[in-house]
A and B are shown apart, each in its own frame.
Chain A
């Protein structure tokens, strides 16, 4: 069965510092990988996704994630965070033959301090 592990429940960081949110997954088949973000009092929004091709994917607001098959990881990084990046971040996977079913990690709260 698939599972997603986000070991860090909360990551505090100062504004303009770099950040990495860790995500590891377990699956016996090929997967698609996603990062979702939930801003305070808002619904989940897709931040970026890996389906195939280049293992490095980027979002429009400066986040990037790299699919590492050997380490079964899909860590999210940003070189310089803003106060507005404060949110809950969820990593998710889906199997290629049942891609409608997202399996989520427990989330990481990114807290950006001035």
Chain B
């Protein structure tokens, strides 16, 4: 079956611009997670959704980052006023239920110039 998909696979934007990154989880998975992976580092937790609500957004670095999951399926990570330090690979994962095995998507590589 289809895995987690993320679009776009690559995004180049200028400093100060707004970007949206999309995640399509595995069908039927109620839990969705966003992570950020900087060069040479492991993934870093950003936010976790259970259904439509953000159950834990403690990993979002500041208020320029926001994520939504309005219908409990697709999620969008939104970054306002992008900075060069936001350049990273943004990973999305989903799991059937809370605490279950997380299945990762291929990531979106964001480059802020």
Contacts and interface: CB of A to CB of B under 8 A. Distances in A.
Contacts, number: 56
Centre residue among B41, B56, B98, B99 by max chain A CB count within 10 A: B99
A67 interface: no
A43 B99 contact: no
B33 A100 contact: yes
Contacts of B98: 99-100
Contacts of A4: 42
A92 B105 CA distance: 17
Contacts of B104: 36, 43-45
A102 interface: yes
A104 B43 contact: yes
Centre residue among B42, B55, B98 by max chain A CB count within 10 A: B42
A74 B45 CA distance: 21
Interface in B38-63: 40-45, 48, 55-56, 59
Given A43-B106, A45-B104, A106-B42, 8 more contacts: A43-B105, A44-B93, A90-B43, A99-B98, A100-B48, A102-B45, A104-B43, A106-B41
Interface of B: 3-4, 31, 33, 35, 40-45, 48, 55-56, 59, 91, 93, 95, 98-99, 101-102, 104-107
Interface of A: 4, 6, 9, 36, 42-46, 49, 90, 92, 98-107
6 contacts: A43-B105, A45-B104, A90-B43, A99-B98, A100-B99, A107-B42
